[in-house]
Structure 1
Amino acid sequence: MKNLSKIIILLLAVFTVQANAQEKLIDRVVATVGSNVILQSEVEAQYAQYLMNGGTPDESFKCMALQQLVITKLLAQQAAIDSIEVSESEVDDQLNARMRDMIQRGGGQERVESLLKRSILQYKEEMRPVLAEQLKAERFQQNLTQKVTITPQEVKQFFELIHKDSLPYFNTEVEIGEIAIFPELTKEEKNIFKERAEKYRQQVLAGTDFGTVARFYSEDKGSASRGGEMDFQPRETFVKEFAAMAFRLKEGEISPVFETEYGFHFLQVLQRRGEDVKVRHLLILTQPTQASLDRAKAKLDSVQNLVTTGKMSFSTAASMYSDNKETKFTGGMVIDPRSPTRSTVISVDNLPKELFLAIDPLKPGEYSKPYQFQDERTGKVGYRFNLLKTRIPPHQASLDQDFAKLKYFAQEDKVRRRMSEWFEKKMKTTFVSINEDFAGCEELRLFQTPASDIAAK
């Protein structure tokens, strides 16, 4: 039961992408699960994906890869029995997202295709049935566990079963509010950047190679070195203004200069494949002027004055004035991005340095002075001030202070137990055989069925 629980932890992670075909020389059956087989090529493909994602060469990873493939087969077979289906559009969406991630991690489409020894289109077609199977397995798992609930009494029982010496220790934690203002440029200030983009566009229209102009002048670091060229991407990956322009033009056509939240662009459509498009573009980033920064600072000062004088609550001011879209509708409270429960309680270890320095001298209920910062996600420079709502000193986990975290852990434990029970029943009725080459894999012990049991089945 203990080993089974360790295996089930893998089910809570995202299924790894793998292809179902590799070089014929390595194709052979390495496992049988019911009426299905798993090929060596599938294990090798998962290992190749692991290396492409930056993993350290380690042959033992293939044990985990085969373990995951067996688990997926078991779940997918039950999904088929239960008539669980996934739509083609769901498969396509997941396929496109995983391809984009692979290309980004792998260093570009050309390098990935070189490593795969096939085109992205070929690879996608090979992956389609495999991914469909994975999604059905996930859907069955979700159906099996989504109704798992946890009561306060169960949380208490879970906590009491943890040995005192094993209780987790939490560093100082805080709850922080934020109101941020980003500078807005006037039309005249924007025109400086727009005119720069138009100047480069005119050079392209006059016959200068688009790629050369983008390579020298584009401020999009991700594509400038490639002459502004971007890989095939679907409409939803672009901001709306960029998508509207990219899907409006004909192949080879050059757009007028247009504005997005990042700055001023112009682009050329290179190729269309259904709802995917390949373009190259040039971007001139809009940078705040000192005047616009001064206006943003003045606006933030006035908002803070409303709050500190009691004329407006912090949460109301955040919803009315803050430019931080992530906290604007949470009463200004910052959500811990690492928390699976979207908690507002954040360990100080996870705070950016400038945010920690702003709230460190504060007492609960106090506000920081306004200060300049750079948004980690967008790179935009703005001004903000913070509220320190709560400070929780370092402590060992307790039911009173850490109920939300303990509830999450208790629910995850209950989900694992539910899956363990399902697997124990499934293994009694499903034939599973593992190739002797994997006999030394500890992760696969559960599936090594004794000969006498196989005969009984």
Structure 2
Amino acid sequence: MEKIRKNIGLLFVVIFTSAFGQEATNETLVTEVSVKDSVVAKRMKLDGIAAVIGDYVILDSDIEKTLVDLRNQGASTEDVTHCQLLGKLMEDRLYAHQAVQDSLLVSDDQVNATSDRQIQQLVQQVGSMEKVLKFYKKPDIESFRTELFEINKLRILSEKMQTEITKDVEVTPEEVRQFFYRIPEEERPIFGAELEIAQIVKQPKAPEAEVQKIIDRLKRIKQDVEENGSSFRIKAVLNTRDEPSRANGGFYTVTRQTPFVKEFKDVAFSLREGEISEPFETQYGYHIIMVEKIRGREVDLRHILMIPEIPDSAMKEAAKELDSIRNQLLDGKYTFAEAAQNFSDEKETRNDGGVLRNPIDFGSRFELTKMDPTLYNQIRDLKDNEISRPLREDDPRGGAPKFKIMKITNRYDEHKADFAQDYLKIQELALREKQYKAIKEWMDEHIEDTYIHVDAENRDCDFANNWVKE
């Protein structure tokens, strides 16, 4: 079991660092001799080259930067070795190299959108752009953006390739059973304390006149772009309330698996290239979408989000209504599940008796040590079967707040894995093991087919993969 855990950890940990692959520069002497359809590349180390994977060069300094960045992020590096870091960097570059060979391309807009979101998050965390630049020892924002672009492009290519490798990997119930009973009983995993949580939500409503005003504004933008050739990107920068995408003109790349609400994805995948949707509603507000590019299962799009203003009176009314529902629950007039089905505005949980679903495995349990901090703070003082007073939850995107009452419906103490009780978690472990095997087979095959050079100083590393091709 310990080996499985280590393999899964190495496979799925993504290191967000300043170490990134570089094209061969004047630090690398490259001589290419064409022989029929193949190219034999002889590469000589001049200054600190740890390894070469296809067109990617890994410098010794990249490994050191990775280690420093892991420490800066608060990760424990006590058991992390130079060879392990080099092996992980080589894996990432092999994925990225093969992604390019297989035409799994990444648009610059997608990479820039990711970088912009990261910069916004960093600024929010430390307080200013100047502090961010000082922390990362960058002279200006452009040099920081350039480095982030290279990091994110390689990371996204690597993730695309891994997704492509594992997209068709599934496990049957019988495979899950065999996986579990292969683990000796004394080595079966321990699962931490878990909770099941239910909630009833009231979403304050904007007046109809305010909603119509927002819809009319979105229609005018759509008309201006379609009839006058105005830039949708600029319109998004000026108008959208979706702060994470504002700087990039509302840009996202989405697939059916992207964790956006269903209504948004349904509209996105119903449009042709260049088409702009009619205004539509999600839980976040009102949107229009313009599709820029369709690449198989991926769609590059821009969107504008507008949020109707909600008066204080509507928010007070929502809280008051929840307080009334709570009193009826305490009086035994309804069960919590019945009240959720009858009164909750949150359709994702309403028909399930208000039960929250864990976004990690879509099960009903939340492990305390892995719970989202906001959710934990909402329920940490609740006793079993106690019903909270109305709580206000603000929308991080700047939308209207919602109000809710919550209840802990079940509590599970820390325990050794049980096949029936913990089936979903065991299924996930079995799937990851099967994905790991698929990736290992892919890795072995493509190491043989790719130009790889490991510097003499690193050839004695006990790599998980056959990088030195012995």
TM-score w.r.t. the length of structure 2 is: 0.59
Counterpart amino acid of residue 150 in structure 1? V
Cα drift, residue 143 of structure 1: 0.9
Question: Do the aligned partners of residues 90 and 17 (structure 1) sit closer, same or farther apart at CA in structure 2, a change above 3 Å counting?
Answer: farther
Please point out which of 101, 105, 128 is paired with 1:81. 101
Mapped to 2, the partners of 1:237 and 1:105 lie a distance apart of 25
Cα distance in 1 for residues equivalent to 2:422 and 2:167: 23
Q: Aligned pair 1:38/2:58, yes or no?
A: yes
Matches within 5 A, 1:281-320: 298-304=320-326, 314-315=336-337, 317-318=339-340
The 2-side partners of 1:242 and 1:441 are apart by 42
Q: Percent identity?
A: 24
SS in 1 for 2:465: helix
Whether the 8 Å CA contact 1:372–1:382 is kept in 2: the answer is no
**1:162 counterpart = 2:183:** yes
Cα contact 1:149–1:411 (8 A) shared by 2? yes
User: In 2, Cα distance between the equivalents of 1:80 and 1:410?
Assistant: 30
- What is the CA distance between 1:332 and its match in structure 2? 1.7
Are 1:332 and 2:354 counterparts?
Answer: yes
Question: Unmatched 5+ residue regions in structure 1?
Answer: 186-233, 248-274, 276-285, 363-367
Q: Is the 8 A contact 2:388 2:407 kept in 1?
A: no
Supply the AA of the counterpart residue of 1:16.
F
Task: Please state if 1:121 is matched with 2:142.
Answer: yes
Counterpart residue type for residue 120 of structure 1: I
- Give 2:9's aligned residue: 9
Following superposition, the deviation at residue 64 of structure 1 comes to: 3.9
Amino acid at match of 2:165: L
SS in 2 for 1:446: coil
- Against the structure 1 CA distance between its residues 385 and 136, is the aligned structure 2 distance closer, same or farther, given a 3 Å change threshold? closer
Query: Partners in 1 of 2:239 and 2:64 — Cα distance?
Result: 30
Q: How has the CA–CA distance of structure 1 residues 44 and 377 changed in structure 2, closer, same or farther, with 3 Å as cutoff? A: farther
Cα distance between partner residues in 2 of 1:405 and 1:242: 32
Equivalent residue for 2:92, pick from 48, 57, 72 = 72
* CA distance in structure 2 between the aligned counterparts of 1:27 and 1:118, rounded to whole angstroms: 25
Any conservation in 1 of the 2:138–2:144 contact (CA below 8 Å)? Answer: no
- How many Å apart are 1:27 and its aligned residue? 5.5
Higher mean C-alpha deviation, range 54-63 or range 389-398:
54-63
Report the Cα distance in structure 1 between the residues aligned to 2:91 and 2:352, rounded to whole angstroms: 39
What pairs up with 1:250-265 in 2 under 5 angstroms? Answer: none
Residues in 2 aligned to 1:5 and 1:56: alpha-carbon distance in whole angstroms: 17
Unaligned runs of 5+ in 2: 28-45, 207-235, 250-301, 303-309
Aligned-residue offset at 1:310: 8.3
Structure whose alpha-carbon radius of gyration is higher: 1
CA gap 1:68/1:121 in 2 versus in 1, 3 angstroms: same
Instruction: Give the corresponding residue for 2:164.
Output: 143
Written as runs of structure 1 = structure 2, the 5 A alignment for 1:358-437 is 358-360=382-384, 362=385, 368-371=386-389, 375=393, 385-392=405-412, 395-437=415-457
Answer yes or no: is the 8 Å Cα contact 1:370–1:383 preserved in 2: no
Aligned equivalent of 1:99: 119
Q: Relative to structure 1, is the Cα distance of residues 396 and 240 closer, same or farther in structure 2, using a 3 angstrom cutoff?
A: closer
Distance 1:126 1:172 in 2: 41
Q: Which amino acid aligns with 1:434?
A: V
SS at match of 1:32: strand
Aligned CA distance change for structure 1 residues 332 and 433 (closer, same or farther; 3 Å): same
Residue-by-residue CA offset, 1:24-65 (whole Å, 9 max, x unaligned):
999632112245422234334434433443457879565444
Q: Secondary structure at the match of 1:177?
A: strand
Q: How far, CA to CA, are the matches of 1:133 and 1:146 in structure 2?
A: 20
Please give the alpha-carbon distance, in whole angstroms, between the structure 1 residues aligned to 2:72 and 2:127.
Answer: 9
Match of 1:446 in 2: 465
Q: Once the 2 structures are TM-superposed, how far is the Cα of residue 100 of structure 1 from its aligned partner?
A: 3.0
Q: Which amino acid aligns with 2:13?
A: A
CA contact (8 A) 1:434 1:447 kept: no
Q: 2:57 is paired with a residue of what secondary structure?
A: strand
Equivalent position of 1:199 in the other structure: none
Question: For residue 196 of structure 1, what is the aligned residue in structure 2?
Answer: none
Work out the CA distance in 2 between the residues paired with 1:408 and 1:242.
31
Q: Conserved in 2, the CA contact under 8 Å of 1:348 and 1:356?
A: no
Local SS of the residue matching 2:354: coil
* Cα distance change, pair 392–28 in 1 and its aligned pair in 2 (3 A): closer
Q: For 2:379, give the aligned amino acid.
A: L
> Is 2:21–2:154's contact at 8 Å kept on the other side of the alignment?
no
Task: Report the aligned-residue RMSD.
Answer: 4.8
User: Residue 179 of structure 1 contacts residue 332 of structure 1 at CA under 8 Å; is this kept in 2?
Assistant: yes
Once the two structures are TM-superposed, the CA of residue 133 in structure 1 deviates from its matched residue by 3.0
1:299-339 deviation per Cα after TM superposition (whole angstroms, max 9, x unaligned) = 22432466678877745643664477985676421234xx6
What count of residue pairs does the alignment treat as equivalent?
355
Partner of 2:49: 29
The one-letter amino acid of 1:177's match is A
Q: Is the 8 A contact 2:356 2:364 kept in 1?
A: yes
Q: TM-score, normalised by structure 1?
A: 0.61
What does residue range 175-324 of structure 1 map to in structure 2 within 5 Å?
175-180=196-201, 235=237, 239=241, 298-304=320-326, 314-315=336-337, 317-318=339-340, 321-322=343-344
